[in-house]
Structure formats: C-alpha cells, structure tokens
C-alpha cells in the first residue's frame, strides 16, 4: 500500500511475522483484560490492541480504517516524537471520527528502531466515566458533545518515559470514579508498552528492512483480496439501502441514513450523502471514509482469513461521499454518545448492500446491542453508584443456519447476576430468552432476551439505550424481520407503565422492577421452508410460541405428543403461501424489494414526526 512494489519476502518469513504479530496482540490484550478496573473492560471486554505502520496505517488490529495518527501529528510532528513517548486522546471531532464517542480512549506509542519511527502501537478501551452530564458520561438525554464527557485532545501523557503528572491529575479529577479511571488507564499504558517491546523484538529477529517489506506486502495482499472479491461479487450497477433509527433520545421523529454503492466499470463509489440531517440527540455518528470502506472490506476478508486484517481492508471502494451536517457527518458540537444505534445499523446495512449483489447470500439484520445505566443512591455513603449493564440482543440468521441468540456484540460479555447482586443494591430476577423475538425464516433470526432488574436501594434513576423498538431488524432472502424491543416498569402491578426504550432520568424507587425485552435478529429464507423438526425444537425450548409456529412457519404442533402434525402443517403452509404470495429480497413490516419501496411505505405508515409511539 505504501510503496507500489515492496521487495518480496519469502513466504515462510511472512508467515512467521504474521504469527508473531498475532501472538503479540493476544498477549497485550490479555494484559488489559487481566488488569483493567472497570467492569466495562474486564467483563464486557471492550478493548483492543493494534499495530500501525510508520504512515499510521494498520499493520494488524482492529482500528477499522480509522486515521488514528492524523490528529496526533497535527500537534506533535513526527520529528518531535521521542522513544518512550505515549499519546492519549478521546476527541471525536479533532480525530475526525477515528474515535467515535468520548468514552473510547486511545493510547499510542511510537516505536523507534535505529533512531527512527518504524511503527506505532495502539491500545484502546471504553472507559467507565470521565465528566459528562451523568454518571457514565454518555447517555440518551445528551445534546452536546460537552454533555458526553470531558474531551482529551491528543496529549503526550508520557514524555520520553516520564509521566505527565499535571495532565494526568486534571483528567483523573474529572471523573466521578477516579480509581477506575486510573486503573483502566494504567492497564492501557502497560499494554501499549508491552506491544512496543514485542515489535522491537520482531525487528531484531527478522531485520528492519524485512519487517518493513513484509508489512507492506501484507497490506498489499489484503488489499488485493478485498479488491478482487469486491469486483468478483459486485456486478455493475447501483445498490441502495436505507435504515431507520427509532428516534434520537429526544424529539419524536425517526432518522435514517442512506447508502448507495455503485459500480461503473472498475470504479466503485459509496455515496452516503442521501442520509438525513444530523439529529438533536446523541445518535450522530462521525463516519470516516476509512471506516465505511473497512466495513465492506471486513466482509471480503472472510475469503482468506490467513491474511491479516489491516489497511488493505480499505481497498474495495475507491471513494466515499459524505455530507457535512448529516447524521453520518455531524457538525460540532453535536452529541455522539449513543452513536451505537446508527453505526450498528450501518454495519448491518453493508450486508444489505451485498445482499442485492449476491442474491441474498448474507447474514440478515442484527439488532442494536443494549445498554442500561442503573443508577442508585447508596444508603450508607450517600454517593451514587452506577452499573452500566450491557445486554444481549438477537443477531441475523445466516444463509447456512440460525442467527445467534443472546449475543451482545461479538466477544463482549455480560455481567453475571451474582456479580451484579454482590456489587450493587440490585436483584436480577429474570434473565431469559425472549420468545418469538427472532425473525422467522428458513433459518431463524437470533432471539433477544428479557432482563428483570429490581432496585433494592431507596432511590435511583435509570437511563436506557435501547433501539429497535419501532424499527425491527430486517430479514433477507425471504426471511422476515425480527421482534421489537420494549421496556416496562412494574409489569403486572397496578403501577405498571411503559418506559420509553431510549430515554434517561427515569425514576425508580425501592422495590421497583424494570423489565427489558431486547430485539431479535432478522430471519433468512422463507419460513415455510423451515425444517419442521427445528420448529418443534424451538417450541419445546421456548424460542418460538406454538401460535407463532403456526402463523409464521405454518407448522402445526401437538404439544402433548411433542410432535408435528404433518398433514395439518401441509395444509397450513399451503394457505399461508396462497395468502402471502411470493417473498421478496427483504422483509420488515412487509416484504419489499428495494429501499425506495420501503421508504414510501414507512413515510405513509410511520410519518414523522411520529405521534408519541409509546402509550403512557
């Protein structure tokens, strides 16, 4: 990538270097996992370590096309950097979206070999709290970046091995939980420094020029893979997708983004300028060209996973068009804290684009992972406690099998109920699969969950970052959309009330119970083609109700005998098929073939502004 024709390196050495990079990354990430303080990092595992080349482009890691170094160099030119330096920032605007919300902190160490910078190491994690409007910093009610937390522009936190104590004290002073902040930042610093040591050892072992050539070759190979597969799988034409966010935390109207991928000859362009204007609330997402390119590249990487995920992931798309002031390119100082709503749907939308190019051969839409901010006043000390609870959702069904039930997002883990109850005045009374939440399909979408949390402290508030309460996930290739999310307080009692799923400052008092139903993933393929034995299993295990089995899958089940009534099923399926007609590429509310077809339907049926869609 950096040089058109890097000198070839023999394939054995290449593989040795790749293997060593993988092992080094594992080791450094382990340091973070074992030593970080906040539960967000150690239980939810929201951290990564990446290696970048001397141009700031990824060698191996998880920076997903972001320009990590750009804003650092603006303040600290390369010539000013010294061995033992460590840079820190969390500023989404200065970094132009290489960081997308303020809790995400990056630490960057230049790696010096023979007195020159040969690479950079990067450690990243989502921190617990640094300033902002409420404990946990970000939240549904924020409207400015200042509400989202204290901004750390790129600073040199360690100067040639010496900790910048003044800056560190200012930052720690801005957190409600300085101990956690200290522990987490120490863990990240330690990981970055270990990463640096390992890279230096590799330069010693393989030689400087061989390392540099090998890195360039790796990037070129991944680029070649992504480019080839893009051209192979995407025929000439235009592919458009629109997805919708329920609302922005405040206000009552939905927002949408629009992606159009077009291929003309060998040129591939991605145009996101048809997206809505930026939102008043915190769901804005600063998309960078690199990130959008990398989302596509990540899909094509699966065709040769022996290659490293690196800067080459960006090679599929030639140019990206974004519009300033849109929800994907918001202007300062828009709030960004809950951008997960937008970017999770954006990642699914990449698959919706590819679905059109590949006749539906992709995973269906995945629900947006959920965060609940449980806040409670500690009776003894009078201080406020915060439990940031990451909750699972259902993921999309795949062309070969069912979607994943109850997954947060990739490898992130939940809090055990026993941990929550031990650490907080909360009781987790129910943690179950949410029946019928998976989108019906030949392969069923993953189910979301039900989480019942009761407050044992005298008073508290809670914030909810729950999407998909209005717009469910989409099904594909004949599969249907997933079930929606919902939040209810004191269900089944005279005080029962619906809670707006994306909201903050909800009040609860001792004994109140909040129930969250999270959304499911979309289905894949025609549900009438689902193997009835799989439907029966789903019914017996509580993933699908007997009614839904009949209505959505046309499967008639005799619960007493624990078997499928084959004859009745055949009749039922015939009837559904006749009433329904042919399936189409996508489904959400209805089957539709193109995004404009759905857009018309949505505008007719869910006009904006939406009338308060939650009954209070």
Partner 1 sequence: MPRYALAVDVGGTFTDLLLCELETGWQFVHKTPSTPDDPSIGFLTGLTEILEKTSADPASLVHILHGTTIATNSVLENKGAPVGLLVTSGYKYVLEIARHGTPRLANPNTWVKPVRPVRPRDCREMNERTTFDGAILQPVDEIEIARAAQHFARAGVEAIAVAFLHSYANPSNEQRAREIMRRELPDVPVSLSSEVLPVYREYERAITTVLNAYVTPRVSRYIDNLKGSLTSLNTPATLSIMKSNGGIIGADTAVSQPVYTSLSGPAAGVIATAQIAQTAGISNCISFDMGGTSTDVSLLRDGRPGLTLNGKLGDWPIQLPMLDIATIGCGGGSIAAVSPYGSLTVGPDSAGADPGPACYGRGATSPTVTDANLVLGRVSTQIAGGQLSLDTRAAEKTILRAVAEPLGMELSSAASGIIRIANNAMVGAIRNISVERGHDPRDFALVAYGGAGPMHAIDVANLLGIETVVVPAHPGITSASGLLVAEFKNDYARTVPQQAGDFDVSGIAEVFDRLEREGRDWLATEGVPTPSHNLIRSADLRYSHQGSELTVPYRNPYVDESGLRDLVEEFHQQHNQLYGFSLEQPVEIVTLRVTASGQVGATNISTPLGADQPVSTEVRTDRPESFRPVYFDAMAKFVECPIYRRDDLAQGSLIEGPAILEGMDSTVVVNPGWLGSVDQHGNFIMRGQGH
Q: CB of 433: closest distance to partner 1 in angstroms? A: 5
Three-class DSSP category at 412: coil
Three-class DSSP category at 374: strand
Task: Output phi, psi for 408, to 5 deg.
Answer: -75, -80
Q: CB of 505: closest distance to partner 1 in angstroms? A: 25
- Looking at 138-288, list the stretches that DSSP marks H as alpha helix, in order from N- to C-terminal side: 165-173, 178-206, 208-233
Half-sphere exposure of 265 (CA within 13 A, CB side): 2
Q: Which is nearer to partner 1, 247 or 398 (CB)?
A: 398
| Phi-psi category of residue 347: left, alpha or beta, with phi > 0 → left and psi -120 to 50 → alpha | alpha
Q: CB of 182: closest distance to partner 1 in angstroms? A: 7
Q: CB of 613: closest distance to partner 1 in angstroms? A: 28
| Interatomic CA distance for residues 171 and 184, integer angstroms | 13
| Interatomic CA distance for residues 33 and 28, integer angstroms | 9
Is the backbone peptide bond immediately before 333 cis, with ω within 30 degrees of 0?
yes
Q: Which residues partner with 176 through β-bridges? A: none
Neighbours of 421 (CB within 10 A): 14
503 near 141, Cβ under 8 Å? yes
Q: CB of 427: closest distance to partner 1 in angstroms? A: 8
| Interatomic CA distance for residues 503 and 463, integer angstroms | 6
Q: Which is nearer to partner 1, 418 or 615 (CB)?
A: 418
Q: Which is nearer to partner 1, 526 or 538 (CB)?
A: 538
Q: CB of 209: closest distance to partner 1 in angstroms? A: 20
> How many Å separate Cα 88 from the centre of its chain?
23
Q: Which is nearer to partner 1, 194 or 329 (CB)?
A: 194
Q: CB of 142: closest distance to partner 1 in angstroms? A: 25
- Contacts with 122 (C-beta within 8 Å, 6 or more apart), sequence order: 49, 50, 51, 52, 61, 63, 68, 106, 107, 108, 109, 192, 195
Q: CB of 466: closest distance to partner 1 in angstroms? A: 16
Tokens of 309: 């995920």
Q: CB of 292: closest distance to partner 1 in angstroms? A: 18
Q: Which is nearer to partner 1, 23 or 78 (CB)?
A: 23
Q: Which is nearer to partner 1, 224 or 510 (CB)?
A: 224
Q: Which is nearer to partner 1, 304 or 597 (CB)?
A: 304
Q: CB of 530: closest distance to partner 1 in angstroms? A: 17
| Interatomic CA distance for residues 162 and 526, integer angstroms | 62
Q: Which is nearer to partner 1, 72 or 157 (CB)?
A: 157
Q: CB of 56: closest distance to partner 1 in angstroms? A: 24
311 near 57, Cβ under 8 Å? yes
Neighbours of 611 (CB within 10 A): 7
Q: CB of 172: closest distance to partner 1 in angstroms? A: 12
Three-class DSSP category at 365: coil
Q: What string of DSSP letters covers 187-226?
A: HHHHHHHHHHHHHHHHHHHH-HHHHHHHHHHHHHHHHHHH
Residue 457 per-residue DSSP state: S
Q: CB of 392: closest distance to partner 1 in angstroms? A: 4
Q: CB of 227: closest distance to partner 1 in angstroms? A: 11
Q: Which is nearer to partner 1, 248 or 392 (CB)?
A: 392
Q: Which is nearer to partner 1, 69 or 453 (CB)?
A: 453
Q: Which is nearer to partner 1, 323 or 430 (CB)?
A: 430
Q: Which is nearer to partner 1, 223 or 283 (CB)?
A: 223
Q: Which is nearer to partner 1, 173 or 580 (CB)?
A: 173
Q: CB of 482: closest distance to partner 1 in angstroms? A: 16
| Interatomic CA distance for residues 550 and 573, integer angstroms | 9
Q: What is the DSSP pairing of strand 319-321 with strand 267-271?
A: parallel
Long-range CB contacts (within 8 A, 24+) of 531-539:
532/564, 532/566, 532/569, 533/564, 534/402, 534/444, 535/564, 536/562, 536/563, 536/564, 538/444
Q: Which is nearer to partner 1, 412 or 491 (CB)?
A: 412
From 463, 518, 512, 509, select the one nearest 489 (Cα to Cα). 512
Neighbours of 609 (CB within 10 A): 10
Q: What string of DSSP letters covers 312-324?
A: GGGGG-SEEE--T
Tokens of 187: 């863990």
Q: Which is nearer to partner 1, 9 or 556 (CB)?
A: 9
């Amino acid at each position: 990538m950096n040089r058109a024709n890097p000198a070839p390196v023999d394939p054995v050495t290449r593989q040795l270097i790749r293997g060593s990079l993988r092992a080094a990354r594992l080791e450094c990430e382990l340091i973070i996992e074992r030593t970080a303080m906040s539960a967000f990092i150690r239980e939810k595992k929201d951290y990564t370590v990446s290696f970048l080349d001397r141009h700031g482009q990824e060698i191996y890691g998880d920076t997903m096309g972001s320009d990590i170094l750009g804003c650092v160099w603006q303040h600290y030119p390369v010539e000013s950097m010294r061995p033992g330096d460590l840079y820190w920032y969390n500023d989404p605007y200065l970094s132009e979206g290489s960081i997308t919300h303020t809790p995400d902190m990056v630490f960057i160490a230049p790696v010096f070999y023979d007195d020159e910078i040969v690479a950079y190491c990067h450690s990243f994690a989502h921190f617990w709290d640094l300033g902002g409007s409420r404990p946990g910093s970000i939240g549904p009610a924020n409207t400015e970046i200042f509400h989202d937390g204290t901004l750390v522009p790129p600073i040199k936190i360690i100067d040639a091995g010496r900790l910048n104590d003044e800056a560190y004290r200012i930052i720690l002073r801005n957190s409600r939980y300085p101990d956690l902040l200290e522990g987490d930042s120490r863990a990240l610093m330690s990981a970055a420094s270990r990463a640096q040591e390992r890279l230096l050892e590799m330069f010693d072992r393989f030689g400087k020029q061989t390392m540099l050539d090998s890195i360039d070759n790796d990037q070129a190979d991944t680029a070649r893979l992504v480019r080839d597969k893009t051209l192979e799988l995407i025929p000439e034409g235009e592919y458009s997708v629109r997805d919708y966010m329920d609302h922005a935390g405040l206000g009552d109207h939905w927002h949408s983004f629009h992606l159009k991928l077009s291929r003309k000859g060998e040129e591939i362009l991605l145009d996101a300028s048809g997206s809505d204007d930026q939102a008043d609330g915190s769901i804005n997402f600063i998309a960078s060209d690199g990130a959008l390119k990398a989302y596509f590249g990540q899909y094509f990487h699966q065709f040769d996973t022996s290659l490293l995920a690196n800067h080459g992931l960006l090679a599929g798309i030639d140019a990206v068009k974004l519009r300033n002031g849109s929800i994907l390119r918001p202007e300062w100082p828009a709030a960004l804290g809950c951008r997960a709503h937008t970017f999770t749907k954006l990642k699914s939308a990449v698959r919706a684009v590819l679905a059109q190019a590949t006749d539906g051969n992709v995973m269906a839409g995945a629900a947006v992972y959920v965060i609940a901010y449980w806040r409670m006043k500690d009776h003894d000390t009078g201080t406020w406690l915060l439990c940031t609870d990451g909750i699972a959702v259902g993921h999309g069904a795949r062309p070969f099998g069912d979607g994943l039930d109850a997954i947060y997002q990739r490898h992130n883990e939940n809090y055990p109920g026993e941990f929550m109850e031990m650490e907080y005045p909360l009781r987790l009374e129910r943690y179950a699969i949410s029946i019928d939440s998976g989108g019906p399909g030949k392969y069923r979408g993953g189910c979301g969950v039900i989480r019942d949390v009761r407050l044992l402290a005298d008073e508290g508030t809670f914030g909810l970052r729950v999407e998909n309460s209005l717009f469910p996930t989409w099904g594909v290739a004949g599969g249907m959309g997933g079930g929606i999310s919902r939040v209810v307080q004191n269900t089944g009692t005279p005080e029962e009330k619906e809670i707006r799923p994306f909201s903050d400052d909800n009040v609860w008092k001792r004994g109140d119970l909040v129930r969250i139903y999270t959304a499911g993933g979309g289905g894949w393929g025609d549900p009438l083609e689902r193997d009835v034995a799989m439907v029966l299993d789903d019914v017996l295990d509580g993933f699908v109700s007997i009614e839904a089995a009949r209505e959505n899958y046309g499967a008639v089940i005799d619960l007493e005998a624990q078997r499928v009534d084959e004859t009745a099923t055949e009749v039922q399926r015939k009837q559904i098929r006749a009433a329904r007609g042919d399936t189409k590429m996508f489904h959400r509310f209805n089957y539709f073939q193109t995004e404009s077809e759905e857009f018309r339907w949505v505008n007719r049926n869910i006009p904006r502004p939406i009338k308060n869609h939650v009954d209070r």
